[in-house]
């Protein structure tokens, strides 16, 4: 582990040196770069309909680049199935659940570029790890020459690893909403997890598989003298909507049992005559700033805003303040660490209760993570507003998200 972390630090330092010393220029060339990806199996990519190399979570794949200038630095980037673009520096299994890796929910590590030199023949090969923070689906891997401008990409599928059916033995597992007892609920719900039938006092490993296949870690549980355990889990607004699988595995008995819970979003109903629009642009690529303009709120009132991502998860943003005419503007920045698709932006007056929703369409941007220094801030975020940064509360903080209560719409 220490050796690996030293190599990671070297990769980041090396990327810094390259960024500071290499002038990026594009040369027209008839020669084509080539990128090949190798995995332990194959699968059909739903984006192209072609059979491509495939692998599994917590495994390895190989990638070979050819056709670049001799000894030129190249940058490698991974486009996830939902359109997010990450550097290999932040996607491996050793950095998962750390500030420089993926956590399976927010996924906002600084995107340090992965840069290395090809050999004198213009070729390079490397083996990369996946982690259980990689969702199932078809990925696009891209290699880009920083001097030649040559570029190529290849698809790769992360598929579920199908093995024999687990043996539940005499165990049972129930996951239910804390207030209704149903195996379904809304964002903001606390769920109870009941496991029974395990060995007395054995340690139970528990994990949660999200709708996209990403695995969320959960603390191990200790069974009682009669082999049962109870625990709770909070679904925040930041969790995507869909069907979650809870798995409990007895570390001594080997009994493994799975239960499902369906998570849905709370509705927000427009109310009143306030207006919110995207001034420019209504649609843009990743790393675009979108200007939001709101009006017809009460004079000087606080306006709370939040963003619903294409996967149904919600990210809170700093509240804004209307001017004496009930108007405000805020510049919203969305980068390559966010999925492509349609975003709902909601604004609600804290005093007037006027609520309005508008939409932003985020398209694919550059497939290359080559910015240095990398962005260390969260996204989405407000970068400019009519209050000159005098906003209320930190962005992407759960305390700044709508309070999810039995009411038909979020309230603050």
Report the distance separating Cα 91 and Cα 169, nearest Å: 36
**Could you report the per-residue pLDDT of 275-334, keeping only the tens digit for each?**
999 997 889 999 999 999 999 999 999 999 999 999 999 999 999 999 999 999 999 999
- CB neighbour list of residue 160: distance below 8 Å, 6 or more residues apart: 56, 136, 213
Whether 24 shows a pLDDT value over 60: the answer reads no
Among residues 99, 133, 158, the one where a domain terminates is 158
Choose among 265, 332, 244: nearest CA to 294.
332
Residues 129 and 226 in one domain: no
**Could you report the per-residue pLDDT of 118-128, keeping only the tens digit for each?**
999 999 999 99
Report the distance separating Cα 92 and Cα 87, nearest Å: 10
Whether 17 shows a pLDDT value over 60: the answer reads no
Q: Is residue 270 part of a domain?
A: no
Structure tokens at 9: 């630090």
Residues 145 and 125 in one domain: yes
What percentage of the chain carries pLDDT values higher than 90?
Answer: 83
| Three-state secondary structure call for residue 89 | helix
Among residues 158, 183, 198, the one where a domain terminates is 158
- On whether the CB atoms of residues 336 and 292 are closer than 8 A, the answer is no
Residues 364 and 340 in one domain: yes
For the chain, the average pLDDT equals 88
Q: Is residue 165 part of a domain?
A: no
Report the CATH number that the domain containing residue 376 is assigned in CATH.
2.60.40.1930
Among residues 114, 131, 158, the one where a domain terminates is 158
Q: Is residue 116 part of a domain?
A: yes
Q: Is residue 373 part of a domain?
A: yes
Q: Is residue 41 part of a domain?
A: yes
Whether 16 shows a pLDDT value over 50: the answer reads no
Q: Is residue 408 part of a domain?
A: no
Residues 50 and 186 in one domain: no
Residues 325 and 390 in one domain: yes
Task: Give how many domains the chain has, as a whole number.
Answer: 3
Residues 14 and 94 in one domain: yes
Integer angstrom CA distances of residue 66 from 61, 69, 241: 17, 9, 41
Residues 18 and 101 in one domain: yes
Q: How many alpha carbons fall within 13 Å on the CB side of residue 163?
A: 4
Q: Is residue 28 part of a domain?
A: yes
Which pLDDT belongs to residue 282? 82
Residues 316 and 283 in one domain: yes
**Could you report the per-residue pLDDT of 234-243, keeping only the tens digit for each?**
999 999 999 9
What is the extent of the structural domain holding 326? Answer: 275-400
């Amino acid at each position: 582990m220490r050796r690996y972390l030293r190599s990671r630090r070297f990769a980041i330092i090396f990327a810094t040196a390259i960024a500071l010393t290499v002038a990026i220029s594009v040369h027209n060339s008839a020669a084509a770069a080539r990128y090949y990806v190798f995995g332990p199996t194959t699968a059909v990519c739903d984006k192209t309909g072609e059979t491509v190399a495939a692998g599994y979570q917590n495994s390895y794949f190989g990638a070979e680049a050819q056709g670049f200038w001799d000894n030129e630095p190249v940058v490698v980037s991974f486009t996830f199935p939902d359109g997010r673009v990450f550097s290999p520096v932040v996607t491996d299994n050793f950095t998962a659940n750390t500030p420089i890796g993926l956590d399976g929910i927010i996924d906002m590590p600084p995107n340090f570029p992965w840069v290395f030199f090809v050999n004198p023949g213009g070729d390079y090969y490397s083996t990369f790890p996946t982690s259980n923070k990689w969702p199932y689906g078809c990925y696009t891997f891209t290699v880009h020459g920083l001097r030649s401008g040559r570029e190529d990409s290849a698809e790769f599928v992360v598929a579920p690893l199908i093995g024999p059916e687990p043996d539940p033995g005499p165990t049972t597992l129930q996951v239910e909403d804390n207030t209704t007892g149903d195996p379904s609920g809304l964002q903001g719900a606390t769920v109870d997890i009941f496991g029974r039938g395990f060995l007395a006092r054995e340690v139970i490993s528990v994990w949660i598989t999200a709708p996209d296949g990403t695995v969320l870690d959960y603390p191990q549980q200790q069974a009682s003298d009669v082999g049962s355990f109870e625990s709770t889990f909070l679904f925040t607004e930041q969790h995507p909507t869909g069907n979650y699988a809870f798995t409990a595995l007895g570390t001594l008995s080997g009994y493994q049992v799975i239960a499902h819970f369906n998570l849905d979003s709370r509705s927000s109903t427009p109310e009143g005559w306030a207006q919110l629009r995207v001034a420019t642009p209504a649609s843009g690529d990743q790393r675009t700033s979108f200007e939001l303009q709101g009006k017809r709120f009460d004079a000087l009132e606080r306006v709370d805003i939040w963003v619903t991502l294409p996967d149904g998860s919600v990210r809170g943003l700093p509240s804004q303040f209307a001017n004496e005419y009930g108007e405000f503007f805020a510049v919203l920045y969305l980068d390559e660490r966010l999925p492509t698709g349609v975003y709902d932006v909601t604004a609600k007056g804290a005093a007037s209760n006027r609520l309005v929703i508008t939409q932003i369409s985020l398209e694919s941007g550059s497939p290359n993570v080559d910015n240095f220094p990398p962005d260390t801030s969260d996204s989405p975020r407000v970068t400019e507003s009519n209050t000159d940064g005098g906003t209320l509360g930190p962005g992407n903080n759960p305390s700044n998200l709508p309070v999810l209560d039995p009411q038909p719409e979020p309230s603050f």
